[in-house]
Amino acid sequence: MSSTSRPTFGIGLVGHAFMGRAHSHAWRSVDAIFELPWQPVLSVLAGRDDGRAQAAAARLGWGSGVGDWRQLLERDDVDLIDICTPGDSHAEIAVAALEAGKHVLCEKPLANTVAEAEAMAAAAERAAGRGVRSMVGFSYRRVPALALARNLVAQGRIGTVRHVRAQYLQDWLADPQAPLSWRLDRRRAGSGALGDIGAHIIDATQFVTGEAVTGVSALLDTFVTERPHPDGPGTGPVTVDDAALFHGRLSGGGLASFEASRVAAGRKNALRLELNGTRGSLAFDLEAMNVLWFHDHTEDSDTAGFRRILVTEPQHPYAGAWWPPGHGLGYDHAFTNEIADLVISIAAGKDPEPTFADGLAVQRVLAAVEASAADDGRWTAIPGVQP
Ligand code: SOE
């Protein structure tokens, strides 16, 4: 929809690497796919350097580029600040933006520490009282098959959840020569596979089941402890985990296992979730993201079995806005779906989900995993969650 009679909604993006590109793509396309009450305008992109930000703005479709995100706080053509920077700057930018009256979309994990996430959740709550909204970008909630899985669980189609098996497996660090980057630096990223991709499976588990993780026992490992510098001679230390393995209990009484790895050779972006309940099971793999497997255990056992649902029908979540049945969506579409929900919620005066409080809940699980792993896998309860 491109009517100019709608109010405009000015966006300021901070960051222009992987996530900045993914969000830019979504902001560029969202108005052509969804019927939005407001018209997003890609006003300004902020980076750390004027020249590079201007070049990125031109390439990614933004009106202008600036070398300091603080300039966005002052601008009348910015209604929302979209934070796509490494985790060490999320709290500072988000709190300043909310206090300046700007809505915020912040990439996951919400922060690098629980203290930062708490400050962000508190700022979000204060801002919501003034009609200023915030959302954390757990984009996989907007993959149609995972949104359908949540609906089926909520409808009781698999009964009470007994098991969740959650994995997020990648292999871009399997090669010991893969260079250092901010994602391998604890000061910038907070943690490694744990916060980068483990955060997604924690959120996906809590989202799909509607339950909370109440406690964990964990192991972390860094298999490659030194890696080459990207732009010069020699190597430097890796200060985050390559892999995280933990199990936990859910608030409904079920058991959950979690595995996040960036050294799982051959697995490129395998976010897998399997749920077994008293009445049936569901299974999903992001490497085949248009498919949800469903087993209805109440069916006649002669013919019962996992059925493959191609989640591209018009009545499936988000799918109706896109292509005819069977034509499928990809990684990028989840960001467009996320941004559509964000704009629709803000225009309706409602808090979009996942909230900063949801991001804080994930952060508490991440911190419990680190505490448990540092103490030989000791059982560690998640503060504030009823066992
Ligand atoms: C973004 O949602 C993200 O989590 C990235 O930050 C990860 O690195 C990527 O592999 C999955 O998507």
Q: Are residues 274 and 321 in the same domain?
A: yes
- Residue 210 Cα to ligand 1 midpoint, Å, equals 22
Percent of the chain with pLDDT over 90: 98
Per-residue pLDDT band for 375 (boundaries 50, 70, 90) equals very high
Q: Are residues 184 and 47 in the same domain?
A: no
Percent of the chain with pLDDT over 70: 99
For residue 74, the model assigns a pLDDT of 96
Atom 1, ligand 1: residue with shortest CA distance = 19
- Residue 330 Cα to ligand 1 midpoint, Å, equals 14
- Residue 171 Cα to ligand 1 midpoint, Å, equals 13
For residue 149, the model assigns a pLDDT of 99
The boundaries of the domain holding residue 152 are: 142-355+361-381
Distance CA 227, CA 184 (A): 9
In a domain, 52, yes or no: yes
In a domain, 230, yes or no: yes
Q: Are residues 365 and 258 in the same domain?
A: yes
Mean pLDDT calculated for residue range 80-104: 98
Q: Are residues 10 and 123 in the same domain?
A: yes
Q: Are residues 171 and 115 in the same domain?
A: no
Atom 6, ligand 1: residue with shortest CA distance = 196
Q: Which ligand 1 atom is at minimum distance from the Cα of 331?
A: 12
Q: Are residues 221 and 132 in the same domain?
A: no
Ligand 1 pocket residue status of 196, Cβ below 6 Å: yes
266 DSSP assignment = T
Mean pLDDT calculated for residue range 234-258: 98
* Residue-wise pLDDT tens digits, 264-286: 999 999 999 999 999 999 999 99
> Which one of 108, 140, 171, 197 would you pick to mutate in the ligand 1 pocket, going by the greatest count of ligand atoms within 8 A of its CB?
197
- Taking every pair of Cα atoms in the chain, the longest distance, rounded to a whole number of angstroms, is 66
In a domain, 300, yes or no: yes
Domain count of the fold of the chain: 2
Of 88, 122, 139, the one marking the end of a domain is 139
In a domain, 386, yes or no: no
Of 139, 164, 197, the one marking the end of a domain is 139
In a domain, 299, yes or no: yes
Ligand 1 pocket residue status of 139, Cβ below 6 Å: yes
Q: Are residues 63 and 179 in the same domain?
A: no
Q: Are residues 235 and 368 in the same domain?
A: yes
Residues 6+ apart with CB under 8 A from 342: 80, 105, 135, 352
- Residue 26 Cα to ligand 1 midpoint, Å, equals 15
SS3 call for 10? strand
For residue 227, the model assigns a pLDDT of 98
* Residue-wise pLDDT tens digits, 28-42: 999 999 999 999 999
Q: Are residues 131 and 37 in the same domain?
A: yes
Residues 6+ apart with CB under 8 A from 302: none
In a domain, 251, yes or no: yes
Atom 5, ligand 1: residue with shortest CA distance = 196
Mean pLDDT calculated for residue range 113-140: 98
Q: Are residues 92 and 154 in the same domain?
A: no
* Residue-wise pLDDT tens digits, 132-180: 999 999 999 999 999 999 999 999 999 999 999 999 999 999 999 999 9
- Residue 7 Cα to ligand 1 midpoint, Å, equals 32
* Residue-wise pLDDT tens digits, 327-353: 999 999 999 999 999 999 999 999 999
Atom 12, ligand 1: residue with shortest CA distance = 197
For residue 219, the model assigns a pLDDT of 98
What would the DSSP string read from start to end of 26-76? HHHHHHHHS--SSEEEEEEEE-SSHHHHHHHHHHHT-SEEES-THHHHH-T
In a domain, 188, yes or no: yes
C-alpha 154 chain-centroid distance: 21
In a domain, 22, yes or no: yes
- Residue 90 Cα to ligand 1 midpoint, Å, equals 15
For residue 4, the model assigns a pLDDT of 59
Alpha helices by DSSP H, the chain: 18-33, 50-60, 70-74, 90-99, 114-128, 144-154, 186-189, 193, 199-209, 331-347, 356-373
Mean pLDDT calculated for residue range 89-110: 98
What are the φ and ψ backbone dihedral angles of 39, each rounded to 5 degrees? Answer: -100, 110
Whether pLDDT at 209 is above 70:
yes
Q: Are residues 78 and 173 in the same domain?
A: no
Q: Are residues 10 and 149 in the same domain?
A: no
What would the DSSP string read from start to end of 93-108? HHHHHHHTT-EEEEES
Whether pLDDT at 87 is above 80:
yes
- Mean pLDDT of the residues in the chain: 97
Q: Which two tokens stand for residue 44?
A: 């300004």
CATH number at residue 25: 3.40.50.720
Per-residue pLDDT band for 386 (boundaries 50, 70, 90) equals confident
For residue 387, the model assigns a pLDDT of 77
CATH number at residue 270: 3.30.360.10
- Residue 18 Cα to ligand 1 midpoint, Å, equals 8
Whether pLDDT at 49 is above 80:
yes
Task: Look up tokens 């998640």; give the residue.
Answer: 382
Of 139, 170, 190, the one marking the end of a domain is 139
